Structure 1
Amino acid sequence: MIIWRGFGALVVLVVLICVGGLQWLASTIVGPEATTQIQRFLIPIGLVIAAVIVWPLGRFFNKPTTTFDPRTGRQVTVSRGHSLFFINMEYWSPILLVLAVVFLIAGFFVRI
């Protein structure tokens, strides 16, 4: 079960598009036979690309806005919460980078 709030589900969508798109692009360019040989590098590269995209998206969507409350006469800062599994979108970027390193290291030890 995926738990998200606001646009937090975009993290999953961006990761799927980046990793899947990179694999599709590689199989189109070098062919399906050669893609299995470079498979260990495609997932980490796709995760790094997704991390680069998710950080500014999260910063943009979770940017606090300052409004004027007419009842109290004060300025109120409202922070929107766009999260996936209770983690704000922008904090998924370092998590994706760590996952990329894990997949890269695992790629050297596991034969496909």
Structure 2
Amino acid sequence: MSTILFVLIWSGLGLLVGIVIFACSLLTSLICTAVTGDGNFYSESEWAAPLALIISGFIIRIIVKVAYSVPSKTLIDIETKEELYIYDDHSLFFIDIKYWEYICFVLALLMLVIGPN
């Protein structure tokens, strides 16, 4: 018997990226099954999984805008009165969440070009 160990590494809102991708894929699969009546449509379709990734990319873009809209700390230099904004770190698998939207779009494009098989 073999054991598969899967480790998620995240910081801040990074886990939300994985949840969004999973939820969009699941919802797309359920909708495709409900509309077509074919339980294998999602896995055999050339466009269903890429569509889920594209929708995920747009949702992740919204999450990034919200996550980086308000700084977590503001430091003020006493001499120059210059303000320095510090933002929290949000990453999944050591990749900042602002790059995950592009990863989703590139994966969707590759899936459309290569196809399901």
TM-score where L is the length of structure 1: 0.81
Give the conservation status (yes or no) of the 8 Å contact 1:64–1:80: no
Say whether residues 1:103 and 2:100 are aligned partners. Answer: no
- Partner residue in 2 for 1:5: 11
Aligned residues: 108
Counterpart among 58, 80, 92 of residue 100 in structure 2: 92
Say whether residues 1:14 and 2:16 are aligned partners. Answer: no
For 1:1-112, list aligned pairs within 5 A: 1-32=7-38, 35=41, 39-63=45-69, 65=71, 67=74, 75-107=83-115, 110=117
* Structure 1 stretches of at least 4 aligned residues deviating more than 6 Å after TM superposition: none
* Structure 1 residue 101, shift from structure 2 partner: 1.0
Cα deviation digits, residues 32-78 of structure 1 (max 9, x gap): 25726852211000000000110121122133526356xx5853411
RMSD over aligned CA atoms reads 2.4
2:46 partner SS:
helix
Gapped runs of 5+ residues in structure 1?
A: none
TM-score where L is the length of structure 2: 0.78
Q: Which has the higher helix share?
A: 1
Gapped runs of 5+ residues in structure 2?
A: 1-6
